Structure 1
Amino acid sequence: MRKKKKQIEPKASDQTEQFDPILPKAQVSPGRGLSSEQAAQRMEYGYGNKPVEPPSKTERQIVFSNVFTFFNLIFVVLAACLVIVGSFKDMLFLLIAIANTLIGIIQQIRSKRTIDKLTLLASPHANVVRDGNVFTIATDQLVRDDVVIFAAGNQICADAVVMTGEVQVNEALITGESDAILKKPGDALLSGSFVVSGKCHAQLERVGAESYAAKLTLEAKSNIKTRQSKMMASLDKLIRVIGITLIPLGLIMFCKQFFFLHLGLEHSMVSTVAALIGMIPEGLYLLTSVALAVSVIRLAYNKTLVHEMSCIETLARVDVLCVDKTGTITEPEMKVNDLILLDPKAYSKEQVTQVLDAFYTHMDLDNDTAKAMKAYFSAPSNWQATKTVPFTSATKWSAVVFPQQGTFVVGAPEFILKDQYESIREQVEPHSAQGDRVLLLAAYQGELADGKLNGPITPIALVLISNKIREEAPETFRFFAEQDVQIKVISGDNPLTVSQVAQKAGIAGADRYIDATLLKTQEDIETAVEQYTVFGRVTPDQKRKFVEALKTAGHTVAMTGDGVNDVLALKDADCGIAMASGSDAACQAAQLVLLDSNFSSMPKIVMEGRRVINNIERAASLFLVKNIFSFLLSVISIFASFPYPVVPLQLSLISALTIGVPAFFLALEPNKSLVQGSFMGNVLRKACPGGLTNLFIILGVELFAFAYGYSTETLSTIACICISFVGLLVLFQVCKPFDWKRTLIWVAMTAGMVVCITVFGGFFSLIPLTFQEFLVLIVFLLLSYPTMRAVLWGFEKVEFAVHWSIKKWKSLRSRSFA
Structure 2
Amino acid sequence: MVDGEVAVNESLLTGETDEIFKKPGDTLMSGSFVVSGECCARLEKVGADSYISQLTLEAKAMNRKEQSEMIRVLDKLVGVVGILIIPLGLLLFGQQFFVSKASFSSSIVSMVAAVIGMIPEGLYLLASVALAISVIRLSSQKVLVHDMKCIETLARVDVLCVDKTGTITENNMQVISTIPMEGYNPSTGSGLKTMISDLVVSMPDGNITMQALKRFFKTPSDKKADVVIPFSSTYKYCGAAFSGDAYVLGAPEFVLREDYEKFKVLIENYSSDGYRVLVFGRYSGVPDGKELTEAVTPLGLILLANPIRKDAPETFRYFAEQGVAIKVISGDNPVTVSQVALEAGIADAAKYIDMSTLHTEDDIREAATQYTVFGRVTPVQKRQLVHALQSAGHTVGMTGDGVNDVLALKDADCSVAMASGCDAAAQVSQLVLLESDFAAMPSVVMEGRRVVNNIERSASLFLVKNIFSFLMAVFSVCFRSTYPLEPSQVSLISMFTIGIPGFFLALQPNGDIIHGRFLSNVLIKALPAGLTDFLVVGALVVFGSVFGVNETDISTACTMLLAIVGFMILYHISKPLNPLRWCVWVGCIVGLLVCSIWLGDVFGIEHMSMECVMLFVLFAIVTEPTLRYGTILVEKIGGIITNRTK
TM-score (norm 2): 0.87
Residues 182 and 580 of structure 1, relative CA distance in 2, 3 Å threshold: farther
Match among 213, 222, 225 for residue 383 of structure 1: 225
Partner of 1:153: 11
Shift of 1:200: 9.8
Distance 1:460 1:510, change over 3 A: same
- In structure 2, distance between residues paired with 1:678 and 1:387: 57
Give the Cα–Cα distance (whole angstroms) in 2 for the partners of residues 572 and 444 of structure 1: 47
Q: Would the aligned equivalents of 2:170 and 2:307 in 1 still touch at CA under 8 Å?
A: yes
Partner Cα distance (1:525, 1:344) in 2: 42
Task: Please state how far the C-alpha of 1:685 moved relative to its aligned partner.
Answer: 2.3
Q: What's the counterpart of residue 277 of structure 2?
A: 438
SS in 2 for 1:487: strand
CA deviation map 1:686-742 (0-9, x unaligned): 222221211112211121122122222122111111111111111111101222222
Question: Aligned pair in 2 of structure 1 residues 219, 263: CA closer, same or farther (>3 Å)?
Answer: farther
Secondary structure of residue in 2 paired with 1:510: coil
1:477 pairs with 2:295: no
Output the amino acid matched with 1:661: I
The equivalences for 1:319-358 within 5 A come to 319-342=158-181, 343-345=183-185, 350=190, 356-357=196-197
Distance 2:565 2:317 in 1: 42
After superposition, residues 74-153 of structure 1 pair within 5 angstroms as: 151-153=9-11
Distance 2:64 2:423 in 1: 26
Q: Report matched runs for 1:199-238 at 5 Å.
A: 212=53, 216=57, 227-238=66-77
| CA gap 1:590/1:363 in 2 versus in 1, 3 angstroms | farther
2:532 is equivalent to residue 693 of structure 1: yes
What is the aligned counterpart of 1:373 among 213, 221, 229?
213
- What one-letter code is carried by the residue in structure 1 that aligns with 2:420? S
Does the 8 Å contact 2:410/2:429 carry over to 1? yes
What is the identity, as a one-letter code, of the residue corresponding to 2:104? L
Q: Which moved more, 1:400-409 or 1:604-613?
A: 400-409
| Corresponding residue for residue 743 of structure 1 | 582
Q: Deviations over 1:68-87 (max 9, x none)?
A: xxxxxxxxxxxxxxxxxxxx
Aligned residue among 428, 437, 452 for 1:589: 428
Q: Distance in 1 between matches of 2:184 and 2:272?
A: 24
State the 1:421 CA deviation. 2.5
Is the contact between residue 705 and residue 711 of structure 1 (CA under 8 Å) also seen in structure 2?
yes
Going from structure 1 to structure 2, the CA distance change for 1:575 and 1:277 (only over 3 Å counts) comes to: same
Give the CA deviation at 1:452: 5.3
Q: Match for residue 620 of structure 2?
A: 781
Which of 651-660 and 537-546 deviates more? 537-546
Contact 2:379 2:405 in 1 (8 A): yes
Q: For residues 303-326 of structure 1, what are the alpha-carbon distances to aligned partners after superposition, in whole Å with 9 as ceiling and x for unaligned?
A: 001122221011111222222222
State the 1:787 CA deviation.
1.3
Please report how far the alpha carbon of residue 197 of structure 1 lies from its aligned counterpart in structure 2 after TM superposition: 10
1:492 alignment partner AA: G
Which amino acid is the alignment partner of residue 637 of structure 1?
S
CA distance in structure 2 between the partners assigned to 1:466 and 1:280 by the alignment? 60
1:680 aligns with 2:519: yes
Summarize the Cα distance change of 1:752–1:235 in structure 2 as closer, same or farther, 3 Å threshold: same
* Shift in alpha-carbon separation, 1:460–1:789, aligned structure 2, 3 A: same
Q: 1:625 to 1:599 in 2, by over 3 A?
A: same
Corresponding residue number in structure 2 for 1:268 = 107
Match of 1:255 among 82, 94, 98: 94
Q: For residue 424 of structure 1, give the secondary structure of its aligned residue in structure 2.
A: helix
CA displacement at 1:299 relative to structure 2: 0.4
User: CA 1:587–1:786 in 2, change beyond 3 Å: closer, same or farther?
Assistant: same
CA contact (8 A) 1:384 1:402 kept: yes
Q: How many residues align?
A: 623
Contact conserved, 2:246 with 2:287, CA < 8 A, in 1? no
Q: Is the 8 A contact 2:59 2:407 kept in 1?
A: no
Following the alignment from structure 1 to structure 2, what is the Cα–Cα distance between the partners of residues 344 and 532? 39
Distance in 2, Cα, partners of 1:150 & 1:280: 62
* Shift in Å, 1:301: 0.4
Alpha-carbon distance change, 610 to 474 in structure 1, aligned in 2, over 3 angstroms = same
Conservation of the 8 A alpha-carbon contact between 1:341 and 1:348: no
Identify which of 497, 500, 504 aligns with 1:661: 500
Is structure 2 residue 592 aligned with structure 1 residue 753? Answer: yes
- SS in structure 2 of the partner of residue 763 of structure 1: helix
In the TM superposition, 1:445-484 aligns within 5 A as 457-484=296-323
My pick for the range that moved more, 395-404 or 724-733, is: 395-404
Displacement of 1:607 after TM fit?
0.9
CA distance in 2, matches of 1:306, 1:618: 24
- Structure 2: distance between partners of 1:731 and 1:479: 31
Cα distance change of structure 1 residues 697 and 503 upon mapping to structure 2, 3 Å threshold: same
Post-superposition CA distance 1:24-74 (Å, at most 9, x none):
xxxxxxxxxxxxxxxxxxxxxxxxxxxxxxxxxxxxxxxxxxxxxxxxxxx
**Structure 2 unmatched runs, 5+:** 1-6
Measured after TM superposition, the shift of residue 765 of structure 1 is: 0.8
Partner of 1:302: 141
Q: Is the 8 A contact 1:167 1:199 kept in 2?
A: no
Within 1, Cα distance between the matches of 2:153 and 2:284?
Answer: 48
Distance 1:331 1:214, change over 3 A: closer
Query: Which residue of 2 is the match for residue 115 of structure 1?
Result: none
Q: CA deviation at 1:215?
A: 9.8
The range that moved more, 787-796 or 262-271, is 787-796
Q: Percent identity?
A: 46
Shift of 1:519: 3.7
Alpha-carbon spacing, 1:274–1:295, altered in 2? closer, same or farther (3 Å): same
Change (3 A) 1:795 1:217: same
Structure with greater contact order relative to length (CA < 8 Å, sep ≥ 6): 2
Q: Distance in 2 between matches of 1:287 and 1:686?
A: 18
Among residues 646, 657, 660, which one is paired with 2:485 in the alignment?
646
Does 2:158 align with 1:291? no
For residue 801 of structure 1, give the secondary structure of its aligned residue in structure 2: helix
**Range with greater deviation from structure 2 (709-718 or 297-306):** 709-718
Output the CA distance in 1 between the equivalents of 2:527 and 2:407.
42
Q: Which runs of 5+ in 1 are unaligned?
A: 1-148, 157-164, 169-180, 808-818
Partner AA of 1:382 in structure 2 = K
Residue 32 of structure 1 corresponds to which residue in structure 2? Answer: none
Task: Tell me whether 1:801 sits opposite 2:637 in the alignment.
Answer: no
Residue 505 (structure 1) aligned to one of 344, 360, 377 = 344
Check whether the contact 1:657–1:752 (CA below 8 A) recurs between aligned residues: yes
CA distance in 2, matches of 1:646, 1:200: 84
1:715 corresponds, among 538, 544, 554, to 554
> For 1:192-203, what aligned pairs fall within 5 Å after superposition?
195=32
Alignment of 1:588-627 (within 5 A): 588-627=427-466
Give the aligned CA root-mean-square deviation in angstroms: 3.5
Q: Distance in 2 between matches of 1:520 and 1:348?
A: 46
Cα distance in 1 for partners of 2:524, 2:33 equals 49
Match of 2:389 among 533, 550, 553: 550
Write the letter of the residue equivalent to 1:371: Q
**Structure 1: distance between partners of 2:347 and 2:69:** 31
Q: Contact between 1:326 and 1:467, CA under 8 Å: does it hold in 2?
A: yes
Q: 1:446, 1:454 within 8 Å by CA — same for their partners in 2? A: no
Match of 1:573 in 2: 412
Aligned residues of 2:65 and 2:413 also touching (Cα < 8 A): no
Q: What SS does the corresponding residue of 1:493 show, helix, strand or coil? A: coil
Conserved 8 A contact 2:241-2:287: no
| SS of the residue 2:301 aligns to | strand
Q: Classify 1:773/1:415 alpha carbon distance in 2 versus 1 (closer, same or farther; 3 Å).
A: farther
* Structure 2 CA distance for partners of 1:601 and 1:483, relative to 1, 3 Å: same
1:628 maps to 467
Answering whether residue 568 of structure 2 is matched by residue 729 of structure 1, we say yes
Distance 1:260 1:251 in 2: 13
Go from structure 1 to structure 2 and tell me whether the alpha carbon gap of 1:246 and 1:385 turns closer, same or farther (over 3 Å shift): farther
3-state SS in 2 of match to 1:632: helix
How far apart are 1:609 and its partner, in Å? Answer: 1.2
